[in-house]
Amino acid sequence: MLKHVTLLVCLAGPAVAQECPPAPDRSGELAFLFNRANAARSPIEARPIADAMWSIWADAPDDRAQALLDDGRELIGEGELDDATEMFDALVDYCPDYAEGYNQRAFAAYLQGEFAAALVDLNAALERQPLHVAALSGKALTLIGLGRGVEGQRVLRQALKLNPWLSERALLREMPEDTF
């Protein structure tokens, strides 16, 4: 944990004046991957495609943003959710147009049962990256957690149109036609 605090202190130092560069537009690569995911015949075949999507979303605009993202994700893995949230706060402050900062902060909030906060960040991520499948599936889970099941099912269906092999598909329920 000390290395994370040290990294945060270093990154919050004199480099604060530095601006985050815009993330490159990788929508063409994502469209290709969505097509491949829809053509996949099994979850095993779809797994590397989903991994390739994640590599795009988790490719931060610069080294500073990448360090914040990677450290925050590591902290989530260690169960240090408050420290992870601090990393993602710093990432969002530094790169306010980078969707993954919001998505990861939402994940940390979701894991803490803070569904309302997670939903705000998921919406922010989707404003920046409307086809972010993980943010869509996270939003579906969050809406379900908030007791908004019909809305959650709608969002889950959006995510499954992009990648029908998401594990969250197990939560799909039949809905009356008039709810869509």
pLDDT confidence tier of residue 171, bands split at 50, 70 and 90: confident
| pLDDT in the model for residue 169 | 83
Half-sphere exposure of 133 (CA within 13 A, CB side): 26
Interatomic CA distance for residues 104 and 77, integer angstroms = 12
Stretch (H or E) spanning 110: helix 99-111
Domain ranges, ordered by start, for the chain: 2-10+28-179
DSSP state of 79: T
Instruction: Single out the residue of 49, 68, 43 nearest to residue 58, CA to CA.
Output: 68
Interatomic CA distance for residues 152 and 156, integer angstroms = 6
pLDDT confidence tier of residue 97, bands split at 50, 70 and 90: very high
pTM beyond 0.75, yes or no? yes
- Residue-wise pLDDT tens digits, 104-118: 999 999 999 999 999
**Helix-strand-coil percent breakdown of the chain, rounded to 5?**
75, 0, 25
Quick one: average pLDDT of 155-159?
95
| pLDDT in the model for residue 167 | 87
Lowest mean pLDDT among 11-15, 60-64, 120-124, 165-169: 11-15
Query: Domain 2-10+28-179 sits in which CATH superfamily?
Result: Tetratricopeptide repeat domain (1.25.40.10)
Take residue 44 and report the two structure tokens written for it: 């095993």
